[in-house]
Amino acid sequence: MKQYDYLIVGAGLFGCVFAHEAKRAGKRVLVVEKRPHIAGNAYTALTEGIHVHKYGAHIFHTNDAEVWHYVSQFAEFNRYTNSPVANYRGELFSLPFNMHTFHKMWGVVTPEEAAAKIAEQRREITGAPQNLEEQAISLVGRDIYEKLIRGYTEKQWGRDCRELPSFIIRRLPVRLTFDSNYFDARYQGIPAGGYTAMCERMLEGIAVRLQTDYLAHRAELDQLAEKVIYTGAVDAYFGYRLGALEYRGLRFETELLDIPNYQGNAVMNYTDRETPWTRIIEHKWFTFGRDAAGQDLPKTVITREYPIEWQPGEAPYYPINNARNSALYVQYRALADAERHVIFGGRLGEYRYYDMDAVIASALALCKREFA
Ligand code: FAD
Ligand code: UDP
Protein backbone atom coordinates (compact mmCIF):
# COMPACT_ATOMS: atom_id res chain seq x y z
CA MET A 1 0.00 0.00 0.00
CA LYS A 2 1.25 3.48 -0.88
CA GLN A 3 1.76 6.22 1.69
CA TYR A 4 -1.09 8.43 0.41
CA ASP A 5 -4.47 7.80 -1.18
CA TYR A 6 -4.24 11.00 -3.22
CA LEU A 7 -1.47 13.18 -4.53
CA ILE A 8 -3.00 16.55 -5.37
CA VAL A 9 -1.05 18.58 -7.88
CA GLY A 10 -1.74 22.29 -7.42
CA ALA A 11 -2.84 24.18 -4.30
CA GLY A 12 -5.35 26.38 -6.14
CA LEU A 13 -9.03 26.32 -5.24
CA PHE A 14 -9.68 23.01 -7.00
CA GLY A 15 -6.80 21.33 -5.15
CA CYS A 16 -7.72 22.91 -1.79
CA VAL A 17 -11.37 21.83 -1.98
CA PHE A 18 -10.48 18.31 -3.07
CA ALA A 19 -7.79 17.99 -0.37
CA HIS A 20 -10.15 19.22 2.34
CA GLU A 21 -12.96 16.86 1.35
CA ALA A 22 -10.61 13.90 0.91
CA LYS A 23 -9.23 14.40 4.41
CA ARG A 24 -12.75 14.69 5.78
CA ALA A 25 -13.56 11.37 4.08
CA GLY A 26 -10.65 9.80 5.96
CA LYS A 27 -8.23 9.72 3.02
CA ARG A 28 -4.50 10.35 3.29
CA VAL A 29 -3.50 13.26 1.08
CA LEU A 30 -0.41 15.10 -0.05
CA VAL A 31 -0.55 18.40 -1.95
CA VAL A 32 2.32 19.54 -4.16
CA GLU A 33 2.50 23.06 -5.53
CA LYS A 34 5.17 24.44 -7.78
CA ARG A 35 4.79 28.05 -6.66
CA PRO A 36 6.14 29.19 -3.28
CA HIS A 37 2.58 29.70 -1.96
CA ILE A 38 -0.89 28.15 -1.84
CA ALA A 39 -4.23 29.54 -3.24
CA GLY A 40 -3.26 29.45 -6.94
CA ASN A 41 -4.29 32.52 -8.87
CA ALA A 42 -6.52 33.66 -6.03
CA TYR A 43 -3.41 34.22 -3.85
CA THR A 44 -3.40 37.40 -1.73
CA ALA A 45 -0.58 38.83 0.43
CA LEU A 46 -0.51 41.72 2.89
CA THR A 47 1.30 44.98 2.14
CA GLU A 48 0.81 47.90 4.56
CA GLY A 49 -2.44 46.32 5.84
CA ILE A 50 -3.80 45.87 2.31
CA HIS A 51 -4.63 42.42 0.91
CA VAL A 52 -2.97 42.55 -2.50
CA HIS A 53 -4.46 40.24 -5.14
CA LYS A 54 -1.17 39.08 -6.62
CA TYR A 55 -2.60 37.58 -9.81
CA GLY A 56 -5.28 40.13 -10.58
CA ALA A 57 -8.59 41.08 -8.98
CA HIS A 58 -10.51 38.12 -7.60
CA ILE A 59 -14.10 38.83 -6.67
CA PHE A 60 -16.09 35.90 -5.41
CA HIS A 61 -19.58 35.70 -6.91
CA THR A 62 -22.04 32.88 -7.36
CA ASN A 63 -25.66 31.94 -7.81
CA ASP A 64 -25.02 28.56 -6.27
CA ALA A 65 -26.19 28.50 -2.64
CA GLU A 66 -24.30 25.26 -1.96
CA VAL A 67 -21.00 26.79 -3.10
CA TRP A 68 -21.62 29.99 -1.12
CA HIS A 69 -22.32 28.08 2.08
CA TYR A 70 -19.34 25.88 1.38
CA VAL A 71 -16.82 28.74 1.13
CA SER A 72 -18.44 30.56 4.05
CA GLN A 73 -17.16 27.77 6.33
CA PHE A 74 -13.63 28.95 5.67
CA ALA A 75 -13.99 32.73 5.60
CA GLU A 76 -16.31 35.55 6.42
CA PHE A 77 -17.15 37.43 3.23
CA ASN A 78 -17.64 41.20 3.16
CA ARG A 79 -20.35 42.92 1.11
CA TYR A 80 -18.06 44.12 -1.69
CA THR A 81 -19.95 44.48 -4.99
CA ASN A 82 -17.90 44.86 -8.12
CA SER A 83 -18.70 47.93 -10.18
CA PRO A 84 -15.78 48.78 -12.45
CA VAL A 85 -15.35 52.10 -14.19
CA ALA A 86 -14.35 52.16 -17.87
CA ASN A 87 -11.84 54.82 -18.86
CA TYR A 88 -11.89 55.54 -22.60
CA ARG A 89 -9.28 58.23 -23.30
CA GLY A 90 -10.20 60.04 -20.08
CA GLU A 91 -13.98 59.70 -20.52
CA LEU A 92 -15.51 57.59 -17.75
CA PHE A 93 -18.36 55.13 -18.18
CA SER A 94 -20.16 52.84 -15.76
CA LEU A 95 -19.82 49.07 -16.21
CA PRO A 96 -21.39 46.66 -16.91
CA PHE A 97 -23.59 48.13 -19.62
CA ASN A 98 -26.44 49.82 -17.76
CA MET A 99 -28.55 53.01 -17.82
CA HIS A 100 -25.62 55.10 -16.47
CA THR A 101 -23.55 53.88 -19.44
CA PHE A 102 -26.30 54.53 -22.00
CA HIS A 103 -26.97 57.98 -20.56
CA LYS A 104 -23.30 58.93 -20.78
CA MET A 105 -22.95 57.48 -24.29
CA TRP A 106 -26.13 58.82 -25.90
CA GLY A 107 -27.78 61.23 -23.45
CA VAL A 108 -30.80 58.93 -23.21
CA VAL A 109 -32.77 59.10 -19.98
CA THR A 110 -35.39 56.36 -20.07
CA PRO A 111 -34.97 52.61 -20.60
CA GLU A 112 -37.25 52.92 -23.61
CA GLU A 113 -34.94 55.46 -25.25
CA ALA A 114 -31.91 53.29 -24.50
CA ALA A 115 -33.60 50.19 -25.93
CA ALA A 116 -34.54 52.11 -29.08
CA LYS A 117 -30.94 53.29 -29.55
CA ILE A 118 -29.58 49.76 -29.15
CA ALA A 119 -32.24 48.38 -31.51
CA GLU A 120 -31.30 50.97 -34.14
CA GLN A 121 -27.58 50.15 -33.88
CA ARG A 122 -27.96 46.40 -33.80
CA ARG A 123 -29.74 46.43 -37.16
CA GLU A 124 -26.39 46.12 -38.92
CA ILE A 125 -26.16 42.53 -37.68
CA THR A 126 -28.45 40.22 -39.57
CA GLY A 127 -28.65 36.57 -38.63
CA ALA A 128 -27.05 34.84 -35.65
CA PRO A 129 -23.80 36.52 -34.45
CA GLN A 130 -20.80 34.56 -35.71
CA ASN A 131 -18.06 36.06 -33.57
CA LEU A 132 -17.41 38.40 -30.64
CA GLU A 133 -17.71 41.58 -32.73
CA GLU A 134 -21.11 40.63 -34.11
CA GLN A 135 -22.28 39.41 -30.72
CA ALA A 136 -21.20 42.66 -29.03
CA ILE A 137 -22.88 44.91 -31.62
CA SER A 138 -26.02 42.85 -31.45
CA LEU A 139 -26.08 43.19 -27.64
CA VAL A 140 -25.24 46.88 -27.18
CA GLY A 141 -24.72 48.51 -30.59
CA ARG A 142 -21.68 49.84 -32.42
CA ASP A 143 -20.93 52.93 -30.27
CA ILE A 144 -20.43 50.90 -27.11
CA TYR A 145 -18.60 48.23 -29.04
CA GLU A 146 -16.12 50.79 -30.40
CA LYS A 147 -15.49 52.65 -27.12
CA LEU A 148 -15.85 50.05 -24.41
CA ILE A 149 -15.32 46.64 -25.97
CA ARG A 150 -13.13 46.54 -29.05
CA GLY A 151 -9.88 48.00 -27.69
CA TYR A 152 -10.12 46.23 -24.34
CA THR A 153 -10.93 42.87 -25.92
CA GLU A 154 -8.21 43.07 -28.57
CA LYS A 155 -5.64 43.93 -25.89
CA GLN A 156 -6.92 41.25 -23.56
CA TRP A 157 -6.88 38.45 -26.12
CA GLY A 158 -4.26 39.71 -28.60
CA ARG A 159 -6.66 38.88 -31.42
CA ASP A 160 -9.16 40.62 -33.64
CA CYS A 161 -12.69 40.58 -32.21
CA ARG A 162 -13.84 38.78 -35.36
CA GLU A 163 -11.59 35.84 -34.49
CA LEU A 164 -12.91 35.44 -30.94
CA PRO A 165 -15.84 33.34 -29.74
CA SER A 166 -19.00 35.24 -28.85
CA PHE A 167 -19.45 33.59 -25.43
CA ILE A 168 -16.67 35.75 -23.94
CA ILE A 169 -18.74 38.91 -24.22
CA ARG A 170 -21.88 37.21 -22.98
CA ARG A 171 -20.15 37.04 -19.58
CA LEU A 172 -21.12 40.71 -19.15
CA PRO A 173 -24.68 41.70 -18.24
CA VAL A 174 -26.60 44.31 -20.25
CA ARG A 175 -29.25 46.06 -18.17
CA LEU A 176 -31.89 48.70 -18.78
CA THR A 177 -31.68 49.68 -15.11
CA PHE A 178 -29.23 51.78 -13.09
CA ASP A 179 -27.83 48.65 -11.43
CA SER A 180 -24.05 48.69 -11.92
CA ASN A 181 -23.32 45.40 -10.18
CA TYR A 182 -20.89 43.71 -12.59
CA PHE A 183 -22.16 40.24 -11.77
CA ASP A 184 -25.61 38.74 -11.95
CA ALA A 185 -25.03 36.82 -8.76
CA ARG A 186 -27.09 36.21 -5.65
CA TYR A 187 -23.96 36.06 -3.52
CA GLN A 188 -20.85 38.20 -3.80
CA GLY A 189 -17.97 39.38 -1.63
CA ILE A 190 -14.32 39.24 -0.70
CA PRO A 191 -13.09 36.98 2.10
CA ALA A 192 -12.07 39.05 5.12
CA GLY A 193 -8.44 38.14 5.72
CA GLY A 194 -7.84 37.37 2.03
CA TYR A 195 -8.05 34.25 -0.11
CA THR A 196 -4.76 32.86 1.19
CA ALA A 197 -6.14 32.62 4.75
CA MET A 198 -9.28 30.98 3.36
CA CYS A 199 -7.20 28.35 1.56
CA GLU A 200 -5.01 27.86 4.65
CA ARG A 201 -8.14 26.89 6.54
CA MET A 202 -9.10 24.43 3.83
CA LEU A 203 -5.66 22.84 4.04
CA GLU A 204 -5.49 22.63 7.82
CA GLY A 205 -3.83 19.38 8.91
CA ILE A 206 -2.83 18.49 5.32
CA ALA A 207 0.75 17.96 4.14
CA VAL A 208 1.72 20.53 1.50
CA ARG A 209 5.02 20.67 -0.36
CA LEU A 210 5.60 24.05 -1.95
CA GLN A 211 8.04 24.74 -4.80
CA THR A 212 7.59 21.19 -5.99
CA ASP A 213 6.90 20.74 -9.68
CA TYR A 214 5.08 17.46 -10.20
CA LEU A 215 6.19 17.18 -13.81
CA ALA A 216 9.84 17.49 -12.82
CA HIS A 217 9.52 14.76 -10.14
CA ARG A 218 6.76 12.63 -11.58
CA ALA A 219 8.31 9.20 -11.13
CA GLU A 220 9.12 9.60 -7.44
CA LEU A 221 5.85 11.42 -6.59
CA ASP A 222 3.74 8.79 -8.37
CA GLN A 223 5.28 6.19 -6.07
CA LEU A 224 3.76 7.96 -3.07
CA ALA A 225 0.05 7.84 -3.88
CA GLU A 226 -2.64 5.57 -5.29
CA LYS A 227 -4.25 8.33 -7.36
CA VAL A 228 -3.28 11.75 -8.70
CA ILE A 229 -5.56 14.77 -8.91
CA TYR A 230 -3.84 16.98 -11.46
CA THR A 231 -4.82 20.68 -11.72
CA GLY A 232 -1.91 21.88 -13.87
CA ALA A 233 -2.09 22.46 -17.62
CA VAL A 234 -3.31 19.36 -19.46
CA ASP A 235 -1.00 19.88 -22.47
CA ALA A 236 2.03 20.27 -20.18
CA TYR A 237 1.14 16.94 -18.51
CA PHE A 238 1.46 15.23 -21.90
CA GLY A 239 4.69 17.05 -22.78
CA TYR A 240 2.81 19.13 -25.43
CA ARG A 241 2.91 16.03 -27.61
CA LEU A 242 -0.09 17.08 -29.73
CA GLY A 243 1.04 20.71 -29.83
CA ALA A 244 0.60 23.48 -27.27
CA LEU A 245 -2.82 24.76 -26.30
CA GLU A 246 -2.77 28.55 -26.35
CA TYR A 247 -3.23 30.71 -23.28
CA ARG A 248 -3.20 34.41 -22.67
CA GLY A 249 -0.36 35.53 -20.44
CA LEU A 250 -0.40 38.45 -18.01
CA ARG A 251 2.19 40.73 -16.50
CA PHE A 252 1.41 42.53 -13.26
CA GLU A 253 3.12 45.78 -12.27
CA THR A 254 2.45 46.70 -8.65
CA GLU A 255 3.24 49.99 -6.89
CA LEU A 256 2.89 51.12 -3.28
CA LEU A 257 1.88 54.80 -3.28
CA ASP A 258 2.11 57.17 -0.34
CA ILE A 259 -1.34 58.62 -0.98
CA PRO A 260 -4.69 57.47 0.40
CA ASN A 261 -6.67 57.32 -2.85
CA TYR A 262 -5.43 56.81 -6.41
CA GLN A 263 -8.57 56.17 -8.47
CA GLY A 264 -11.49 55.98 -6.03
CA ASN A 265 -12.53 52.49 -7.12
CA ALA A 266 -11.13 48.96 -6.94
CA VAL A 267 -11.20 48.37 -10.70
CA MET A 268 -10.72 50.78 -13.59
CA ASN A 269 -10.71 49.30 -17.11
CA TYR A 270 -8.78 51.13 -19.83
CA THR A 271 -10.86 50.39 -22.89
CA ASP A 272 -8.88 52.22 -25.59
CA ARG A 273 -6.45 50.31 -27.80
CA GLU A 274 -3.40 52.52 -27.08
CA THR A 275 -3.03 52.22 -23.27
CA PRO A 276 -0.96 49.05 -22.90
CA TRP A 277 -2.65 47.80 -19.74
CA THR A 278 -6.26 46.58 -19.58
CA ARG A 279 -6.99 47.56 -16.01
CA ILE A 280 -5.66 49.12 -12.85
CA ILE A 281 -6.66 47.53 -9.57
CA GLU A 282 -6.56 49.60 -6.37
CA HIS A 283 -6.63 46.80 -3.85
CA LYS A 284 -7.68 48.68 -0.70
CA TRP A 285 -11.19 49.29 -2.09
CA PHE A 286 -11.96 45.57 -1.93
CA THR A 287 -12.15 46.17 1.82
CA PHE A 288 -13.59 49.70 1.59
CA GLY A 289 -10.23 51.34 2.27
CA ARG A 290 -9.94 49.87 5.76
CA ASP A 291 -7.70 47.32 7.43
CA ALA A 292 -8.83 44.31 9.48
CA ALA A 293 -9.35 46.51 12.57
CA GLY A 294 -11.57 48.93 10.63
CA GLN A 295 -8.93 51.69 10.46
CA ASP A 296 -8.59 53.84 7.34
CA LEU A 297 -5.48 52.84 5.42
CA PRO A 298 -3.13 55.79 4.81
CA LYS A 299 -1.37 54.34 1.74
CA THR A 300 -2.50 52.52 -1.34
CA VAL A 301 -1.32 49.72 -3.62
CA ILE A 302 -2.17 49.67 -7.31
CA THR A 303 -1.55 47.01 -9.95
CA ARG A 304 -1.52 47.52 -13.69
CA GLU A 305 -2.46 44.39 -15.61
CA TYR A 306 -0.81 43.89 -19.01
CA PRO A 307 -1.95 41.04 -21.25
CA ILE A 308 1.00 39.39 -23.02
CA GLU A 309 1.67 36.70 -25.58
CA TRP A 310 2.14 33.40 -23.81
CA GLN A 311 4.96 30.93 -24.47
CA PRO A 312 5.04 27.31 -23.26
CA GLY A 313 6.71 27.23 -19.85
CA GLU A 314 5.29 30.61 -18.75
CA ALA A 315 2.36 31.02 -16.35
CA PRO A 316 -0.85 30.29 -18.30
CA TYR A 317 -3.72 32.56 -17.19
CA TYR A 318 -6.61 32.46 -19.63
CA PRO A 319 -7.40 29.47 -21.86
CA ILE A 320 -8.15 30.74 -25.38
CA ASN A 321 -11.24 28.74 -26.29
CA ASN A 322 -11.24 29.33 -30.06
CA ALA A 323 -11.94 26.63 -32.66
CA ARG A 324 -8.32 25.48 -33.00
CA ASN A 325 -7.75 25.14 -29.27
CA SER A 326 -11.13 23.59 -28.56
CA ALA A 327 -10.44 20.89 -31.16
CA LEU A 328 -6.96 20.28 -29.77
CA TYR A 329 -8.33 20.08 -26.25
CA VAL A 330 -10.76 17.33 -27.32
CA GLN A 331 -7.71 15.27 -28.34
CA TYR A 332 -5.92 15.96 -25.04
CA ARG A 333 -9.14 15.11 -23.20
CA ALA A 334 -9.12 11.67 -24.84
CA LEU A 335 -5.55 11.12 -23.64
CA ALA A 336 -6.51 12.35 -20.17
CA ASP A 337 -9.51 10.03 -19.99
CA ALA A 338 -7.27 7.09 -20.87
CA GLU A 339 -4.80 7.93 -18.10
CA ARG A 340 -5.41 5.46 -15.30
CA HIS A 341 -5.04 6.72 -11.71
CA VAL A 342 -5.04 10.40 -12.77
CA ILE A 343 -8.00 12.78 -12.66
CA PHE A 344 -7.68 16.15 -14.36
CA GLY A 345 -9.50 19.14 -12.85
CA GLY A 346 -9.62 22.91 -12.58
CA ARG A 347 -9.09 25.75 -15.00
CA LEU A 348 -5.89 24.40 -16.51
CA GLY A 349 -6.61 20.69 -16.18
CA GLU A 350 -9.92 21.09 -18.03
CA TYR A 351 -8.81 24.06 -20.18
CA ARG A 352 -11.94 26.03 -19.25
CA TYR A 353 -12.60 29.68 -18.50
CA TYR A 354 -13.89 28.77 -15.04
CA ASP A 355 -14.69 31.32 -12.36
CA MET A 356 -13.87 30.40 -8.77
CA ASP A 357 -17.40 29.27 -7.92
CA ALA A 358 -17.49 26.95 -10.94
CA VAL A 359 -14.11 25.48 -9.98
CA ILE A 360 -15.38 24.82 -6.47
CA ALA A 361 -18.61 23.27 -7.78
CA SER A 362 -16.62 21.06 -10.11
CA ALA A 363 -14.26 19.93 -7.31
CA LEU A 364 -17.23 19.19 -5.04
CA ALA A 365 -18.90 17.15 -7.80
CA LEU A 366 -15.70 15.13 -8.19
CA CYS A 367 -15.59 14.57 -4.42
CA LYS A 368 -19.16 13.24 -4.48
CA ARG A 369 -18.13 10.72 -7.16
CA GLU A 370 -14.87 9.73 -5.44
CA PHE A 371 -16.13 9.45 -1.87
CA ALA A 372 -19.69 8.18 -2.47
P1 FAD B 1 -5.22 27.73 -10.27
O2 FAD B 1 -5.63 28.80 -9.34
O3 FAD B 1 -4.50 28.11 -11.52
O4 FAD B 1 -4.36 26.67 -9.44
C5 FAD B 1 -3.61 25.65 -10.08
C6 FAD B 1 -2.33 25.49 -9.28
O7 FAD B 1 -1.60 24.38 -9.81
C8 FAD B 1 -1.42 26.71 -9.40
O9 FAD B 1 -1.11 27.21 -8.12
C10 FAD B 1 -0.17 26.16 -10.13
O11 FAD B 1 1.01 26.77 -9.69
C12 FAD B 1 -0.24 24.70 -9.76
N13 FAD B 1 0.47 23.85 -10.70
C14 FAD B 1 0.38 23.84 -12.06
N15 FAD B 1 1.20 22.93 -12.59
C16 FAD B 1 1.84 22.33 -11.56
C17 FAD B 1 2.82 21.32 -11.48
N18 FAD B 1 3.32 20.74 -12.58
N19 FAD B 1 3.28 20.95 -10.27
C20 FAD B 1 2.78 21.55 -9.13
N21 FAD B 1 1.86 22.52 -9.15
C22 FAD B 1 1.37 22.91 -10.35
N23 FAD B 1 -12.63 34.04 -10.78
C24 FAD B 1 -13.68 34.59 -10.12
O25 FAD B 1 -14.57 33.86 -9.66
N26 FAD B 1 -13.75 35.93 -9.89
C27 FAD B 1 -12.80 36.79 -10.35
O28 FAD B 1 -12.90 38.01 -10.13
C29 FAD B 1 -11.70 36.25 -11.06
N30 FAD B 1 -10.74 37.06 -11.54
C31 FAD B 1 -9.67 36.52 -12.21
C32 FAD B 1 -8.68 37.38 -12.65
C33 FAD B 1 -7.58 36.88 -13.31
C34 FAD B 1 -6.51 37.82 -13.80
C35 FAD B 1 -7.47 35.47 -13.54
C36 FAD B 1 -6.28 34.91 -14.27
C37 FAD B 1 -8.47 34.61 -13.09
C38 FAD B 1 -9.58 35.13 -12.43
N39 FAD B 1 -10.58 34.29 -11.93
C40 FAD B 1 -11.65 34.84 -11.26
C41 FAD B 1 -10.54 32.82 -12.12
C42 FAD B 1 -9.88 32.11 -10.94
O43 FAD B 1 -8.53 32.50 -10.83
C44 FAD B 1 -9.97 30.61 -11.18
O45 FAD B 1 -11.31 30.21 -11.34
C46 FAD B 1 -9.37 29.76 -10.05
O47 FAD B 1 -8.19 30.31 -9.54
C48 FAD B 1 -9.08 28.40 -10.60
O49 FAD B 1 -8.59 27.54 -9.61
P50 FAD B 1 -7.75 26.27 -10.04
O51 FAD B 1 -7.43 25.55 -8.79
O52 FAD B 1 -8.46 25.55 -11.12
O53 FAD B 1 -6.46 26.86 -10.76
N1 UDP C 1 -14.81 43.34 -21.77
C2 UDP C 1 -14.77 44.48 -22.53
N3 UDP C 1 -14.65 45.68 -21.90
C4 UDP C 1 -14.55 45.78 -20.57
C5 UDP C 1 -14.59 44.60 -19.79
C6 UDP C 1 -14.71 43.39 -20.43
O7 UDP C 1 -14.84 44.42 -23.75
O8 UDP C 1 -14.42 46.91 -20.05
C9 UDP C 1 -14.92 42.05 -22.49
C10 UDP C 1 -13.55 41.43 -22.78
O11 UDP C 1 -13.63 40.76 -24.02
C12 UDP C 1 -13.40 40.43 -21.66
C13 UDP C 1 -14.84 39.94 -21.51
O14 UDP C 1 -15.63 41.10 -21.72
O15 UDP C 1 -12.50 39.40 -22.00
C16 UDP C 1 -15.15 39.31 -20.18
O17 UDP C 1 -14.87 40.25 -19.16
P18 UDP C 1 -14.60 39.81 -17.67
O19 UDP C 1 -14.51 41.03 -16.85
O20 UDP C 1 -15.59 38.77 -17.31
O21 UDP C 1 -13.15 39.17 -17.83
P22 UDP C 1 -12.13 38.62 -16.71
O23 UDP C 1 -12.44 39.29 -15.42
O24 UDP C 1 -12.34 37.14 -16.69
O25 UDP C 1 -10.83 39.02 -17.27
pTM: 0.96
Ligand 1 atom showing the smallest separation from residue 357 Cα: 25
Residues 6+ apart with CB under 8 A from 216: none
pLDDT tens string 307-327: 998 988 788 999 988 889 999
Q: What is the CA radius of gyration of the chain?
A: 22
Pocket, ligand 2, Cβ cutoff 6 A: 86, 95, 148-149, 152-153, 156, 168-169, 171-172, 269, 271
62, 186 Cβ separation under 8 angstroms = yes
Nearest residue by C-alpha to atom 10 in ligand 2: 153
Question: Cα dihedral angle (168, 172, 175, 181), rounded to 10 degrees?
Answer: 180
Query: Sign of the C-alpha dihedral, residues 224, 3, 359, 355?
Result: negative
pLDDT tens string 208-232: 999 999 999 999 999 999 999 999 9
Q: Is the CB of 350 under 6 A from ligand 1?
A: no
Q: Is the CB of 191 under 6 A from ligand 1?
A: no
Q: Is the CB of 40 under 6 A from ligand 1?
A: yes
169, 136 Cβ separation under 8 angstroms = yes
Set out the domains of the chain in order of their start, with CATH numbers: 4-81+186-246+320-371 (3.40.50.720), 85-168 (no CATH), 248-309 (no CATH)
pLDDT tens string 184-216: 999 999 999 999 999 999 999 999 999 999 999
Q: Is the CB of 33 under 6 A from ligand 1?
A: yes
Residues serving a catalytic function are: 171, 175, 248, 279, 305, 353, 355
